[in-house]
Amino acid sequence: MVKVYRREKSPLRTWIEEDILYVHADDVPTYKKQGSIVRNSFFWALRSIAAQSPMGKAWEFETAVWFALQRMLTNFTDSGYLGTRETQLEFREDAIIPALLQTMATWIPAAEFDPEPEPEPSCYLDDEPDESLPSALAGPDETEQRKRNRQKRAAFKRKAKRRPEREERPTPPYSSYIKKQP
């Protein structure tokens, strides 16, 4: 399968299953530390009303928040900072768009709609360690690591006991810091 990368400013592909609105994982806004304040606010606003917002998976919105979702999308569009392409919900052409979401929704051809991306194949297919690695690369045994940590803690405590205590010196009065005028 050829993976198609969508542009950042693309409509939100959505579908409804069992009264839950799903937004495709590739289309949810992303948070960028040095990114646009408006786009980061859009990310946090959507995430705050989402029932589930797992990373790399579709976000879920329950029917109770659809009205808030519609208002939020409308207001971000009306502000002029985000365009309709970024805030519009796209449904498959054979889907029924709920009346509550019709102001911010449209249809797309079923051929362009991919409900969930296929998971990437894992490079670690089995749970067993690779026997071809030399033992030096495999890492220390857990008990050996614990033993070394205990030895380090004991050495630190011995060193701390040998250190003499610091004497408390009285602080001079404030007047000694003031420069005397001749």
Task: Give domain status of residue 2, yes or no.
Answer: no
Q: Answer yes or no: is 84 within a domain.
A: yes
Rounded CA-CA distance 114/26 in Å is 10
Q: In angstroms, rounded to a whole number, what is the distance separating the alpha carbons of residues 176 and 180?
A: 9
22 and 16 Cβ atoms separated by less than 8 Å? yes
The answer to whether residue 72 sits within a structural domain is yes
15 token code pair: 């579908």
167, part of any domain: no
Domain membership of residue 98 (yes or no) is yes
How high is the mean pLDDT of the chain? 76
Q: 95 Cβ partners below 8 Å, 6+ apart? A: 15, 16, 107
Q: pLDDT tens for residues 52-85?
A: 989 889 999 999 999 999 999 999 999 888 888 8
The pTM (predicted TM-score) of the whole model is 0.57
Residue 85 lies in a domain: yes
Radius of gyration of the chain (CA): 30
What pLDDT score does 15 carry?
92
Residue 128 lies in a domain: no
Report the C-alpha gap between 157 and 123 in whole angstroms: 44
Q: Which of 83, 103, 101, 105 is nearest to 92 (CA)?
A: 105
How many domains would you assign to the chain? 1
Q: Indicate if the pLDDT at residue 149 is higher than 70.
A: yes
The top-scoring range by mean pLDDT among 2-11, 29-38, 139-148 is 29-38
Which structural domain, as residue segments, surrounds residue 46? Answer: 12-112
pLDDT of residue 68: 93
Inside any domain, residue 44: yes
Q: For residue 11, what are the CA distances in angstroms to 40, 57, 147, 149, 173?
A: 17, 17, 56, 53, 69
